[in-house]
Chain A
Amino acid sequence: MTVTSAAARPGTAPRRASLELIGLSRRFGSVVALDGLTFSVPPGQVFGFLGPNGAGKTTAMRAIFGVVALDAGEVRWQGEPVTEQARRGFGYMPEERGLYPGMQILDQLEYLGRLHDMTASSARGAAQSWITRLGLAGRESAKLEALSHGNQQRVQLAAALMHDPELLVLDEPFAGLDPGGVDDMTEILAERARAGVTVLFSSHQLDLVEHICEAVAIIHRGQVVAQGAVSALERGDRLRLAVRVAGDPDGDWARQLDPQVASVEQVKSGTVLLVLAPGADSQRVLDAARAAGAVEHFSFATRRLSEVFRDVVGEDAPS
């Protein structure tokens, strides 16, 4: 099942995409990691990249950086195929965190900054300011391995931010963070997006994604199964109504509705979830409900992102 929100439909396209993944395919032996994966990320947005384990998220992110070879497909940045030069302007935080355990954190960040075309002195300055910003001031000469897990993750984030990237790709940045760490990370991602940076991150914490992201792409078995603005995905492609009528726990009143107006999706403890037919007037449903009895509840219904996720991913969704 593929859900496409109104925002992603042709003709209503919003801002021009900055990052485009077009038909990415990659097999590892008999395992299909990416199967024609296609989606795009608008500039200056925090974009969530969701999918169950093994859906191909990490492979897709690695493909953006060219650290995994593609069998087919292309990654484009601002309309052009991604070059090595463009990649040095990207920031990457891989899922399996990688820094030198025995190297001092200031030296380490300086080194990574220089590999992204910074001069030694500007790299050192940026390293120092990120260390301070992330609450690690005074630990510049500490070796990475001497830091706590959460602090190591902060250094890893600093490594991705050092060279002020135009695109930030983070694989599971929230994994293993305490609530304070989550807040810091959230704030930094939002701030970067406000500064015009395109932020793409993967996560399994759907409530967090719902809270932080403007738009998401959900992938499953190497393909996009849903994408678009979070609000649009939660609303769904058609309007839904939740209605409860007193004294009718099975929602029998709704069975009498004209299918041209609305149809029953489910009944849960007296509340009927209805899908409104395209162009139908919600007031006709209200009239029918009032005719059946006292209306206790009447509202437009939205689904949680986690429900959308389970819906499109099916039995592979994490419980």
Chain B
Amino acid sequence: MNRRWFRLTAIVAEREIRQRGRSRAFAISTIVLLLVVAAGVTIPAILAHNAKPQRVGIVGGPAASMTEIMQEAGRLTGTGVTVVAEPSVAAGEAALRSGQLDVLLVDDTEVVVKQVAIAGSNGSGGTLASAIADVAGLSKLLGELPPGAAASGVTLPVRGLTPPSASLSRRLTGLFTVVLVWVLISAYGSQIAMGVGEEKSNRIVEVILASIRPVQLLVGKVSGIGVLALAQAALMVATFLGLGAAVGSSLVHGAAPGIVITGAVFLVLGYAFYCTAFAAAGSLVSRQSDVGTVILPVQIPLILAYTLSYTVIYASGASTFYRVLGFLPPTAPVAMPVLYAAGDVPAWQAAISAAGVAVGTVWMARTAATIYGRSILRTGSRVRLRQVLGRAPT
């Protein structure tokens, strides 16, 4: 591979970008996807502004000053607060479990919620419970000065009744990431397969392969289409973050940098893993209308991981099966961002999975290039995999 190799490959990529980038289909799909993202960000935010007031229970302490603390915390977080006095901690916790209460403040010692979110950098930041913890802690500090001073900090501990889990907004950001990865890989993957099928069925490959090698056509095609896919993804993420920040969406508050980075890494890896596989599948057919049949097997791992990702988003704790999917190269690009966003795996495990996908991508690219090179010029009936993966081409 020398400079000429890359120059000719770049010419192929450039054609893909120009031809597809200025097509009506690309413009329309970009607009539709951006509208979906915009709606997904703004509608929940608008609904959140009309949220019903939160019910806060208090146990012990002077009711007047504790009510004052609640109202101050409510004002800080923009939430309406209804204060309910509970006779005991046990009664308060029962009310929390049954959903009659959202937060319980016990004396000046702790704040209890049903479940603590693990998202965010400073506790459950931005929520009513944390604001109560801050304000009540400050109030306690002021009452105790000078004796205790700031010995143990000013924030009261926040305790959850059930094990901690990622906040829903964090999970929803994870869902957004997964939908993005899934939509882009599927959409652009089938475009690659269709494009390869087109070139094969109208025989332009013969003209092109008279001057460049199959692998150059393959690499040029997938990288050209990949640039478009990434540009579209970047636009969507920018819209998500920009609009989200503008309307104060809780989805964006959940968008810890880790989730965005994980999503981006797996989007690139997932595309790289699948693009060559889609191209190889497209090279097997002689008629473009057969492309749908050959890409289905390629899509199955993606479909599986994507469908099951909803069970992780809306449940606490992923199943062992889904965790395994998170480490298998074909399913990891969809499964791992979900697992990470849901807080089911730490960052280092996501990194291991990413490395696995990268290795898998190299293997896939080699295999796909072999299949592509051996089948792109074979006309007639559909080429069977076993015909092209044997030791020597027949």
Decide whether A and B assemble into one complex.
yes
Chain A positions within 8 Å of B, measured between CB atoms, are 28-29, 62, 65-69, 84, 87-88, 90, 92, 94, 96-103, 107, 111-112, 114-116, 159
Asked whether any CB of chain A lies closer than 8 Å to the CB of B204, the reply is yes
User: Nearest B residue to A116 by beta-carbon distance?
Assistant: B211
Q: Which residues of B contact A114 (CB under 8 A)?
A: 11
Asked whether, in the complex, the Cβ of A111 is within 8 Å of the Cβ of B207, the reply is: no
CB-CB under 8 A for A99 and B202, given A67-B377, A114-B11, A115-B11: yes
User: Which residues in B have their C-beta under 8 angstroms from that of A68?
Assistant: 377
Q: Offer 7 A-B interface pairs, CB within 8 angstroms, sorted by A.
A: A62-B377, A66-B210, A90-B210, A96-B379, A98-B205, A103-B19, A115-B208
Of the residues A65, A100, A159, contact of B209 by C-beta under 8 Å:
A65
Q: How large is the interface on B (under 10, 10 to 19, 20 to 34, 35 or more residues)?
A: 20 to 34
- Find out whether the CB atom of B15 lies under 8 angstroms from the CB atom of A94: no
Q: Chain A residues near B11 (CB, 8 Å)?
A: 111, 114-115
Q: A92 is contacted by which of B15, B210, B377, B393 (Cβ under 8 Å)?
A: B210
Residue of A nearest to B374 (CB): A69
Q: Are A98 and B207 closer than 8 Å at their CB atoms?
A: yes
Q: Are A99 and B207 in contact (CB under 8 A)?
A: yes
Task: Tell me whether B211 and A88 are in contact (CB under 8 A).
Answer: yes
Given contacts A67-B377, A115-B211, 14 further A-B contacts (CB under 8 A): A29-B394, A67-B209, A68-B377, A94-B206, A98-B202, A98-B206, A99-B204, A100-B202, A101-B202, A111-B15, A112-B208, A114-B11, A115-B208, A159-B207
* Chain B residues with CB below 8 A from A99, complex form: 202, 204, 207
Contact A100/B211 with A29-B394, A111-B15, A114-B11 known, Cβ cut-off 8 Å: no
Which residues of A have CB within 8 Å of B199? 98, 100
Q: Shortest Cβ distance from B392 into chain A, in angstroms?
A: 10
Q: Is the CB of B211 within 8 A of A94?
A: no
B binding-site residues for A, Cβ under 8 Å: 8, 11-12, 15, 18-19, 198-199, 202-213, 377, 379, 393-394
Selected contact of A112 from candidates B207, B377, B379, CB within 8 Å = B207
Closest to B206 in A: A94
A96 and B206: CB pair below 8 A? yes
Q: Considering the chains assembled together, what is the distance between the CA atoms of A29 and B211 in angstroms?
A: 27
Chain A residues closer than 8 Å to B394, beta-carbon distance: 28-29
In the complex, how many residue pairs between chain A and chain B have their CB atoms under 8 Å apart?
65
What separation, in Å, do the CA atoms of A90 and B377 have in the docked complex? 19
B211 close to A96 (CB less than 8 A): no
A-side contacts of B208, CB under 8 Å: 112, 115
- C-alpha gap A103/B19 in the complex (Å): 8
User: Which of B18, B19, B206, B393 makes the CB contact (< 8 A) with A67?
Assistant: B206
A90 — which chain B residues lie within 8 A by C-beta? 210
Contact A92 B206 (CB under 8 A): yes
A116 to B206 alpha-carbon distance, docked (Å):
14
Instruction: Give 3 nearest A-B pairs by CB, closest first.
Output: A98-B203, A98-B204, A65-B210
CA distance A224 to B213 in the complex (A): 30
Complex Cα gap A251–B216 (Å) = 69
In angstroms, how far is the closest chain B Cβ from the Cβ of A5? Answer: 31
Across-interface contacts of B206 in A (CB, < 8 A)? 62, 65, 67, 92, 94, 96, 98
Q: Within the complex, what minimum Cβ distance (angstroms) separates B367 from chain A?
A: 19
B22 to chain A, nearest CB (A): 11
Q: Point out the residues of chain A lying under 8 angstroms from B213, CB to CB.
A: 84
- CB of A87 within 8 A of CB of B204, answer no
Min Cβ gap B198→A in Å is 8
B377 near A97: Cβ-Cβ < 8 Å: no
Taken together as a complex, chains A and B put the C-alpha atoms of A101 and B377 apart, in Å, by 19
Residues of B within 8 A of A62 (CB): 206, 377
In the bound complex, residues from chain B placing their C-beta under 8 Å from that of A69 are: 393
Complex interface: chain A residues within 8 A of B210 (CB): 65-67, 87, 90, 92
For B209, the chain A residues whose CB sits under 8 A away are: 65-67
Q: Most chain-A CB neighbours within 10 Å: which of B12, B203, B204, B393?
A: B204
CB distance from B369 to the nearest CB of A (A): 15
Nearest B residue to A88 by beta-carbon distance?
B211
